[in-house]
């Protein structure tokens, strides 16, 4: 398979650490199919590369990711085969990645910008971070097994507040519920993630991989099953009236009216 490349995803490997950087700040690091493909391929390569011992995701100091690029996402949804899309390859490759994964999150992390963190092992946040899961507001349902993992992490009622209201919650709230490990000034966040990555890279990889496998083994199949279930619902709902109204309202820069859907 030919690897997908994208100037919007920078891949750099040094001292055992492979860093994937969202590099589309002018578009709020919104993620296109090409970017998903590049990340999926980078994860697959890092999995097999003995020189890579830890993987790090990072964004801009002002924004981690605004989630899916809406126009690109809708076009891809119309022209893709279910289960064989760049975003699904990315989800599967990240969920199954055996080596430690760290994320450094500054500014907004919207949609998959937050749900991907549930599949990372360590998450460090700038004090300007804001996490949001606005799926219901778009007429959609949760994805990336977040309907399973978020209630486990936060407890049902806090997860329901995050997923049903879709309102942002800030770095300190994310720290309180265990979504992030530490909150620091944005200017220190990426450097902290890199220091922690190098600490891990100096440890025996076999012990890291086996420890991660044991911690996740009880829910690995559940995550895959829930991800597939969410994917089927998400794909169906994407073509229903509520989602069409949400998209139309976004493009027309107005508030959606869900009173008739």
pLDDT of residue 76: 63
Average pLDDT of 11-22?
98
160-180 pLDDT per residue, tens: 999 999 999 999 999 999 999
pLDDT band with cut points at 50, 70 and 90 for residue 81: very low
DSSP helix/strand/coil, 254? coil
Domains and CATH numbers, the chain: 9-185+204-213 (3.90.226.10)
For 163-200, letters b (16+ CB in 10 Å) and e give beebebbebebbbebebbbebbebebbbebbbebbbeb
pLDDT of residue 4: 64
CB 59 within 8 A of CB 65: yes
Q: Is the pLDDT of residue 79 over 60?
A: no
3-state percent helix, strand, coil for the chain, nearest multiple of 5: 50, 15, 35
Write the CB contacts of 197 (distance below 8 Å, at least 6 apart in sequence). Answer: 17, 19, 54, 56, 100, 102
Query: Which element (helix H / strand E) includes 29?
Result: none
Provide the mean pLDDT of the chain.
94
| Both tokens assigned to 247 | 């998209």
pLDDT of residue 72: 80
Q: Is the pLDDT of residue 1 over 50?
A: no
Q: From edge to edge, which strands make up the β-sheet containing 130-132? A: 108-110, 130-132, 169-170
pLDDT of residue 6: 80
pLDDT of residue 229: 97
Q: Is the pLDDT of residue 250 over 90?
A: no
The answer to which of 1-15, 143-157, 244-258 has the lowest mean pLDDT is 1-15
What's this model's pTM, rounded to 2 decimal places? 0.94
198-247 pLDDT per residue, tens: 999 999 999 999 999 999 998 999 999 999 999 999 999 999 999 999 98
pLDDT of residue 199: 98
Please count the other Cβ atoms lying within 10 Å of the Cβ belonging to residue 212: 16
Q: Is the pLDDT of residue 80 over 70?
A: no
Cα Rg for the chain, rounded, in angstroms?
18
Q: Is the pLDDT of residue 2 over 70?
A: no
Average pLDDT of 7-19?
97
Query: Which element (helix H / strand E) includes 86?
Result: helix 86-95
| pLDDT > 70 fraction of the chain, expressed in percent and rounded | 95
| pLDDT > 90 fraction of the chain, expressed in percent and rounded | 89
């Amino acid at each position: 398979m030919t690897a997908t490349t994208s100037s919007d995803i920078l891949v750099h490997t040094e001292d055992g650490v492979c860093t994937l950087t969202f590099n589309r700040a002018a578009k709020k690091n919104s993620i296109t199919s090409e970017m998903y493909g590049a990340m999926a391929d980078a994860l697959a390569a890092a999995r097999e590369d003995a020189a890579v011992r830890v993987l790090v995701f990072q964004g801009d100091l002002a924004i981690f990711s605004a989630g899916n690029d809406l126009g690109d996402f809708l076009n891809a949804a119309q022209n893709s085969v279910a289960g064989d899309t760049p975003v699904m390859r990315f989800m599967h490759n990240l969920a199954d990645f055996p080596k430690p994964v760290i994320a450094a999150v500054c500014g907004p992390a919207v949609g998959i910008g937050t749900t991907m963190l549930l599949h990372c092992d360590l998450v460090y946040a700038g004090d300007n971070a804001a996490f949001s899961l606005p799926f219901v507001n778009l007429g959609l349902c949760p994805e990336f097994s977040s309907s399973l993992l978020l209630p486990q992490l936060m407890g049902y009622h806090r997860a329901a507040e995050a997923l049903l209201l879709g309102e942002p919650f800030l770095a300190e709230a994310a720290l309180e519920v265990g979504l992030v490990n530490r909150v620091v000034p944005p200017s220190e966040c990426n450097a902290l993630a890199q220091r922690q990555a190098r600490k891990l890279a100096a440890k025996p990889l076999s012990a890291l991989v086996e420890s991660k496998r044991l911690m996740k083994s009880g829910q690995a199949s559940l995550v895959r099953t829930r991800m597939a279930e969410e994917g089927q619902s998400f794909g169906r709902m994407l073509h229903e009236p509520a989602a069409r109204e949400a998209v139309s309202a976004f493009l027309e820069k107005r508030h959606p009216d869900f009173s008739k859907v």
